[in-house]
Structure 1
Amino acid sequence: MNISQEKIDNLNTVVKISINPEDYQPRVEKAMKDHAKKAKLPGFRPGMVPVGHIKKMYGKSILVDEINNMLSDTLNKYLDEEKLEVLGQPLPKVDDKKEYNWDFADNFEFNYEVGLAPEFDIDFSSKDKLTQYVIKVDDETLESRIKNIRRSYGKMTNPDVSADDDVLYAELAQLSPDGSVFEGGINNITSVRLDQVKNEKIKKSLIGLKKGDELVFDINAAFNDDAAKVAGLLKIEEDEAADLRSNFKLTVKNVNRLEEGDLNQEFFDKLFGEGVVTDEAGFRAKITEELEMMMTQDADRKLQDEIYNYSIDKVKFDLPDTFLKRWLKVTNEKLTEEELEGGYNDFAKNLKWTLIENKLMKDNNIDIKYEEVFEFAKGSLEQQFRMYSPQALSEEQLGQYTVQYLQNKENANKVFEQVKALKVFDYIKSAITLDKKEILFSDFNKLTA
């Protein structure tokens, strides 16, 4: 067997593998003997099928399989020994001029196109500057969060007259152009949340209603043509909701109001544990702290996006684009040329970042421990649970959920990649200059909109 490499340029090479009969015949003979021992054919006892019979019936397919196995093993070993950093996977180079008889005496030659990772240098220093935002809680955001938390622990009442943020339990009946109820039209009893009504004029008309009151309104206008919202209220498909042009008659069945929970010790203990918070000032301080913690994560995500884009622009190198496009087409048969061209730039951008990550990890001896993966996963799960309940899980429960989550290989790989990215981001942040800038949450949202 002979294996060689013909370098096309710094990013592309062709690996040639020549296989002679003496290379593959021992493997093929062994494979046929193994097949004979396991074969169950009419007229032969199990395990007693002659090898010659197997060769006659299955010889060529066994030969093809063994040649393919040899090629895979040989190619992978060669790439590893030569320390070639491959992008994508080697692609067989088709040669229409070569034809083989597959008669156990052929000399085979196979060529593989290989895309190579580029060589490049990375030099981050204090001369590289980015803005790091420090987000402060504005009054509107704080009051909105406090209101939502108090309502989560409040009680339902039924006032006589509707007010802002109430819920109307009502019948919605589709009307004909003449204003009469459309016979056979859409009719549904549902809950209409006034805080979700986007049209201010229609919202104002829904305030001050009482049980039994009727109102005609344009339901699509009420929700700014949000087809998903309208479809949910009327229990119809989104496409049908988007095409809907009828007015609806709303008949109030009941007015529901979620009263805010009292700011007392029982409320504080439910939220934060017994005795942690004892008064309204402490409660507001705790909510502010939690909001700022969440906002710190928002600021970190923006900084990470900035670092990602800055790094890709700063670190200049080329990719074997022609090879990679061909590889993407081979591995994604349904991928159209239009989809390939439209999505390739994003693919190349992510691949460049991965190469930058890997080089920084290697050059700076950055490693990842299981404990770090576990703690990151645990923190992520805790945040998810707190979205549904402000009351924290115990450490034991959280640990059990984390173990179960990481037992899924896909989840574990995803978390590993997230930790890897964070470690690289942390390294870059330590190497460059970060100009800290305070900003209100409302203003920060405008930056990321």
Structure 2
Amino acid sequence: MNISQEKTGKLNAVISINLNPEDYQPRVDKAIKEQAKKAKIPGFRPGMVPPAHVKRMYGKNILVDEINNLLSDTLNNYINDEKLEVLGQPLPKLEEDTQYNWDFNDNFNFTYEVGLAPEIDVDFNSKDKIDYYKISVDDETLASRIKNLRRSYGKMTNPDVSADGDVLYGEMQQLSPDGAVFEDGIKQTVSIRLENIQDKDIKASLIGLKKDDVVEFDIQKAYNNDAAKIAGLFKIDEEEAAQLKSNFRLTVKNVNRLDESDLDQAFFEKIFGEGTDVTTEEQFRAKIKEELEAMMVQDADRKLQNDLYNYSLEKIKFELPDEFLKRWLKATNEKLTDEELAGGYDDFAKNLKWTLITNKLIAANDIKVEYKDVFEQAKRQLDAQFRMYSPQPISEEQLAQYAVQFMQNKENANRIFEETKALKVLDYLKSVVTLNDKQIDFKQFSELEQA
């Protein structure tokens, strides 16, 4: 056997593997004998099929399988032994003029294209400066959170007259340009949340309504041309919702109001569990503010990670074997179109560069990603998800059980591992770069992220 490498560019190479019969014949003979022991062929007792018979019947298939296995083992061992950092996977290079007899006597020559990772320098230090936001809970954000919690545990009532924040339950009918009911138009029972109405004049017309009252309005103006909200209201496609230009007539059937829960001990225990030490409104507000601030630390870290991602790609410039990677993406994704490849390759390349940077940082600084770190990250994510539906935390034992089940899914486990690795790198970078602490309230931070 002979294996060699030839550089075809700064980040490209071709690996050639030459196989002689003595390289593959022992593997083939062994595979034929194993097949003979397991084969069930009429006229022969189980386990007594002559290997020569198996070779006549299945020899070429076995030869092809063993050649492929040998090539895979040889190629992987060579890459490991030579410490080649390849990107993607080696691509077989087809030689159109090469023909083989597959008669157990061929000398085979196979070649593979490989893309190589570039050498990069990841020198981060105190001269690198990144803004790090310290997010405070403004009064508006705190009030909104408390209101949502109180409404979550509130009681539904049916007042006689609608007010801002109510839900109008009624029948909507599509109107023709002349104001008559459009015979083939939409006629549907709906629930309209007044807090979702964007136009002030239309919202004003929906306040003070009673059962059986009728009002007409422009649906696009009411929702500020938000096709998603209109589609959700009428249970139609967004494309169809975007084309609706008619006025609609609403006939009120009922007014629904969710009254906010009282700030009493029963409410506090629903939120924080029985036996909570929260007994006053002041303590409740302080506790909710504390929880919001903890969530905002995560938001700030997420933005810092995104900013470091962009900063790193600007600071550490290097090339990739782009043409090879594009061929590899096409080869491994049969349904990938040229248009999809062209539109998505830049994002793929950026993420690959970030992966190379983080891997270099991990290797250079002996950053460890242990199972316990991954497990704790899974618990944090699950806890955050549960809190979206109920502010009352689940027990540590239950959370651990859910995390074990969650991590049994290989895709989940891989995703959490990558997220944990990214957080480890983030912690390292936070310790070496200069963080410019910037105080900002949550509303300003939200506007900053949307910009």
TM-score, length of structure 2 as denominator length: 0.95
Return the letter of the residue paired with 1:204.
A
Deviation per residue, 1:128-183 (Å, 9 max, x gap):
11111111122221211121111112111111110100011111122333333333
Match of 1:328 in 2: 329
Deviation per residue, 1:188-219 (Å, 9 max, x gap):
22211100112222111101100110112222
Match of 1:72 in 2: 72
d(CA) in 2 for partners of 1:13, 1:230: 56
Q: State the SS of the aligned residue for 1:182.
A: coil
Q: Do the aligned residues in 2 keep the contact of 1:223 with 1:230 (CA within 8 Å)?
A: yes
Shift of residue 45 of structure 1?
4.1
Shift of residue 341 of structure 1?
2.3
Match of 1:316 in 2: 317
Q: Do the aligned residues in 2 keep the contact of 1:219 with 1:247 (CA within 8 Å)?
A: yes
d(CA) in 2 for partners of 1:236, 1:315: 48
Return the letter of the residue paired with 2:209.
L
Unaligned runs of 5+ in 1: none
Q: How does 1:8-157 map to 2 (within 5 A)?
A: 8-157=8-157
Match of 2:284 in 1: 283
Mean Cα deviation higher: 151-160 or 417-426: 151-160
d(CA) in 2 for partners of 1:238, 1:311: 39
Q: State the SS of the aligned residue for 1:216.
A: strand
d(CA) in 2 for partners of 1:20, 1:276: 79
Q: Do the aligned residues in 2 keep the contact of 1:172 with 1:234 (CA within 8 Å)?
A: no
Q: State the SS of the aligned residue for 2:313.
A: helix
Shift of residue 44 of structure 1?
4.1
Return the letter of the residue paired with 2:152.
S
Match of 1:351 in 2: 352
Shift of residue 255 of structure 1?
0.8
Residues 187 and 62 of structure 1: CA distance in aligned 2, closer, same or farther (over 3 Å): same
Shift of residue 246 of structure 1?
2.8
Alignment of 1:159 onto 2:159: yes
Return the letter of the residue paired with 2:351.
N
Mean Cα deviation higher: 45-54 or 25-34: 45-54
Return the letter of the residue paired with 2:256.
N
Shift of residue 10 of structure 1?
4.2
Return the letter of the residue paired with 1:152.
S
Shift of residue 275 of structure 1?
4.1
Alignment of 1:420 onto 2:421: yes
Shift of residue 103 of structure 1?
1.6
Q: State the SS of the aligned residue for 2:190.
A: strand
Return the letter of the residue paired with 2:138.
D
Return the letter of the residue paired with 1:100.
Y
Alignment of 1:373 onto 2:355: no
Mean Cα deviation higher: 270-279 or 94-103: 270-279
Alignment of 1:302 onto 2:303: yes
Q: Do the aligned residues in 2 keep the contact of 1:187 with 1:234 (CA within 8 Å)?
A: no
d(CA) in 2 for partners of 1:213, 1:332: 58
Mean Cα deviation higher: 262-271 or 230-239: 230-239
Q: How does 1:366-405 map to 2 (within 5 A)?
A: 366-405=367-406
Q: State the SS of the aligned residue for 1:172.
A: strand
Alignment of 1:292 onto 2:293: yes
CA RMSD in angstroms, aligned pairs only: 1.7
d(CA) in 1 for partners of 2:127, 2:239: 54
d(CA) in 1 for partners of 2:175, 2:339: 45
Q: State the SS of the aligned residue for 2:64.
A: helix
Mean Cα deviation higher: 373-382 or 168-177: 168-177
Residues 178 and 418 of structure 1: CA distance in aligned 2, closer, same or farther (over 3 Å): same
Q: State the SS of the aligned residue for 1:41.
A: coil
Unaligned runs of 5+ in 2: none
Shift of residue 43 of structure 1?
4.3
Q: State the SS of the aligned residue for 2:27.
A: helix
Q: State the SS of the aligned residue for 1:252.
A: strand
Aligned length: 449
Return the letter of the residue paired with 1:205.
S
Shift of residue 184 of structure 1?
4.7
Deviation per residue, 1:275-328 (Å, 9 max, x gap):
422222222222222222222221111111111111122123222222111111
Q: Do the aligned residues in 2 keep the contact of 1:373 with 1:419 (CA within 8 Å)?
A: yes
